[in-house]
Structure 1
């Protein structure tokens, strides 16, 4: 067991949490989507250095569930919230919010929309000033995802998503997320664009290349991102990734004192080159 050293205030916070003097911050439900295109390549965003959480890290599109993401008025095609709940071992209402957040956040952070005019179709083009206005309204929460879809007569396509993983932020962090990971293929005709916001750089990259860049110190990947890229790197096509049967295992790195130093630890694969 090695792990990531915790210095200064974070190290002291870790000691306090282990001693029961401080209660961990509750983890917020969140969703993230590994967007794929043939190659196999994944879409990554670099979070701005000014961000309070994961500053400078390359991440997949995603974010917290908005309470309005659980709106039953959202038109839905594909596996039901109840089915997603069984997959992620979550309540049906939680699962509904997670899937909606996955689709909404992907649109907000990449311009890609996993929805269509019917349960068998997907929107082919999300460029244009009207789409951009809606995307910005979703980001500032002046527009709900349900109203966005209804106004455009669109159906959320939950069948375009596949479950991949489940990570919970360590208890020592002051911002914590209970995040379900999804994978999805870039829909035909759609394309990503640099949408700004929380990211200062975006890129399509092969998982193996991202892993190498992380090991060389050229980019920063958090443990969940690193591990997910490692898992996807063994697949040769997007179809192979989407066809993978996944048993969703929950990972939450722990906090422990190792040789007198407080560390974040996950027993199986720290020391593989990732942070």
Structure 2
């Protein structure tokens, strides 16, 4: 299903929840090149302002900012309504924030595990559900959510983070099903390891590591067309297919 395009003569209006993330910034640059109107939401006021200035240079018709703690939404529906008022409406919503957390700490400290789940699932779910209601009420638009290949199968290295992303995947797929034949679309984009501040300190080598720009291109396409689940880059669909179907005796011998 393809999203209904903005009316002739009207620019695309994008809200980015998590506007300072590496993938979000790269995606916003693609929208800016199209002359879109963009609202960036996040906690880092100075960083948001710097990105907004850059987006205007790159062609954005407007680039606004809003400071909010996305991980602790008090009323996501009211907040989205405010964002819509700022732009005069919303066409695309990108949910792009999250934390990786420390798996070793999360297995020992319930508070650390709760933080990973709260940020990556609980709060994201609140924003997604509010976005779904807004888009369904207006009868058009796209909700694109950044998930992770980590949600495809629990692995010892990151199963708390993976569990949160798995829950988010089920939610977004359910929203996509809810939207069937109604006009709006919902898409979960599952990146593999990506070179962003979130993965700073890891050994980031090899063909499986993507640049933010590579993932951004997938995100931008997903807002307009394609299925409800998209992998970024594409080959992760097949890597994770193999991992999901490995028999437990073999899987348990792998240090992944």
TM-score after normalising by structure 1: 0.30
Larger radius of gyration: 1
Which structure shows the higher helix fraction?
Answer: 2
TM-score after normalising by structure 2: 0.32
Q: Which structure ranks higher in relative contact order (CA pairs < 8 Å, sequence separation ≥ 6)?
A: 1
